[in-house]
Amino acid sequence: MPFISLRWILLAGYAVAGIIPLLLLASTMLHSVQGYFVEERKKELLSQANVISGQLTSSNFLFHEDHRGDMEEVILETSQREDYRVLVLDSSFTVVYDTGYEDVGKTYLLPEVVQAMDNKDTANEQEDGTVYAAASIMGLSNQRSGVVLIVDGMKEVRDIVGDIGKEAYLLLACIVILLFIIMVVVSKVFTEPVKNLIGIIKEMSEGHFERRARVEQKTHTELVDLAIACNQMADQLEKVESSRQQFVSNVSHELKTPLSSVKVLSESILLMEDVPKEMYVEFLHDINSEVDRMTAIINDLLTLVKLDQKEIPLNFKEVDLNQMMAGIVKRLQPLADAKSVVLETDYVKEIAADVDEMKLSLAISNLADNAIKYTPEGGKVKITLDADHQHAFITVADTGIGIPEDEVNRIFERFYRVDKTRDRETGGTGLGLSITHATIMMHKGSIKVNSKEEEGTTILVRIPLKQQQPAAQAQ
Ligand code: ADP
């Protein structure tokens, strides 16, 4: 497709919508002006033909050939003054006098002459623009004895209309040129910001996310909206880019800590001489747990990456949520027992929902696991399952250490931990809640946190009972 700039489209639109109607209007107006002049001239010629015919009648022109000389002079003078030709015809349509002297003796069977003889004086415009005006001459005893025919080439009318036309088209040309200049300026005003935006977007696509479009608030047009939208997109891109960098730096940092431990542990054994076997075992044990930690981090990262790839759909099936929750609680019971935390459940009713059982189980386990982890000995964790006619609600409430108010919104971020040092001791990767959040979002659900430091945390998960696409298709 050839490149057509917006500017040319605007100019072409102006030509079609502005210039062509103006031209049409001018030519129609000229046409009616000409029509008006012709009509007026026809009336005038007819009345002059009548005047001449009256004179001819009273001088008995047709019947007294000897006295024609005076009358002929009068007619000739009039015809020269008025710039038209006058012919006098007798009752047999033969020309008896012609101011042009050419057609004397010829027969004129023109419709206008015939009609005049029939007492209907007429003036008609011919195809070549000439006007014929014919009036009858009365003879003796009121008989029609001949016709006066005026032939006018309408030069005067044509000259007048031509002059008007010239002036009109000159004026039109001035208007067109003026409008064209205005349009060029207007189209520049419209297309210049678009061009600027294109330049800025191109720079952004080359990685300069810090570039912003200028927003001129003087006039509020769609172009200003476009610039604002473009800047919002740039903000978003910058955010995504910085969170990507943050993520990479977090991953490196998280993996660096256990790797450094492994390095220190292995080097210290290598440098020592005569190391007792128990020490080997102890160091290897430590190295092993660091490797476990790295494995846990990498596994969590892989889970997150898989959840991020939205084209891999979840395996939705109708699942008995009561059974699913019982399974989770059974797995976590030993952990709670070991910490002397009471694990309480309240399944309000039987609930079945379209969920990906494996992924949702992991998501809810993360919540319950955290609740036990961050609740001191003797505390209580309560898991509730309830539903209305559209959603299932899973609540995990603990009486643990709680989360500071200003950090509640950040706990779903990758690698975010409230207390960095202590949490690493608890074995968490800081990725659990990110996985939970992503899973709930993929179920088109929502997750809310209520927490108070030293009092406890309640996390409420809401999941739709039915997923939009049928379970079979989602596989
Ligand atoms: P971790 O693996 O460190 O537990 P998570 O993503 O599961 O990572 O949780 C992120 C952070 O949120 C935790 O490090 C902890 O500081 C805080 N947190 C999560 N759940 C609770 C809870 N029930 N009570 C108090 N703090 C919590």
Annotate 90-122 with DSSP letters as a single string. Answer: ETTSBEEEETTSS-TT-B---HHHHHHHTT--E
pLDDT at 423 over 60: no
Q: Is 458 in the pocket of ligand 1 (CB under 6 A)?
A: no
pLDDT at 475 over 70: no
Q: Is 379 in the pocket of ligand 1 (CB under 6 A)?
A: no
| Mean pLDDT of the region 107-122 | 90
pLDDT band at 294 (very low <50, low <70, confident <90, very high): very high
Closest Cα to atom 8 of ligand 1: 430
Spatial distance between the Cα atoms of 198 and 343, rounded to a whole number of angstroms: 60
* pLDDT value at residue 472: 47
CA-closest candidate to residue 353, choices 455, 464, 191, 200: 464
| Mean pLDDT of the region 275-296 | 91
The chain-wide mean pLDDT, for the chain, equals 88
| Mean pLDDT of the region 228-252 | 88
Q: Is 407 in the pocket of ligand 1 (CB under 6 A)?
A: no
Q: Are 353 and 464 in contact (CB under 8 A)?
A: yes
Based on the number of CB atoms within 10 Å of its own CB, is 330 exposed (0-12), middle (13-18) or buried (19 or more)? exposed
pLDDT at 411 over 50: yes
Q: Is 457 in the pocket of ligand 1 (CB under 6 A)?
A: yes
More confident residue, 44 or 224: 44
Q: Is 417 in the pocket of ligand 1 (CB under 6 A)?
A: yes
pLDDT at 422 over 60: no
* pLDDT value at residue 98: 92
pLDDT band at 474 (very low <50, low <70, confident <90, very high): very low
More confident residue, 318 or 309: 318
Spatial distance between the Cα atoms of 134 and 48, rounded to a whole number of angstroms: 10
Spatial distance between the Cα atoms of 305 and 242, rounded to a whole number of angstroms: 18
pLDDT at 163 over 90: yes
Q: Which atom of ligand 1 is nearest to the CA of 424?
A: 3
* pLDDT value at residue 420: 67
* pLDDT value at residue 427: 65
pLDDT band at 274 (very low <50, low <70, confident <90, very high): confident
pLDDT tens digits, residue range 439-471?
999 999 999 999 999 999 999 999 999 987 654
Q: Which atom of ligand 1 is nearest to the CA of 419?
A: 16
* pLDDT value at residue 19: 82
* pLDDT value at residue 187: 83
* pLDDT value at residue 421: 62
Q: Is 438 in the pocket of ligand 1 (CB under 6 A)?
A: no
Phi, psi of 52 (to 5 degrees): -60, -45
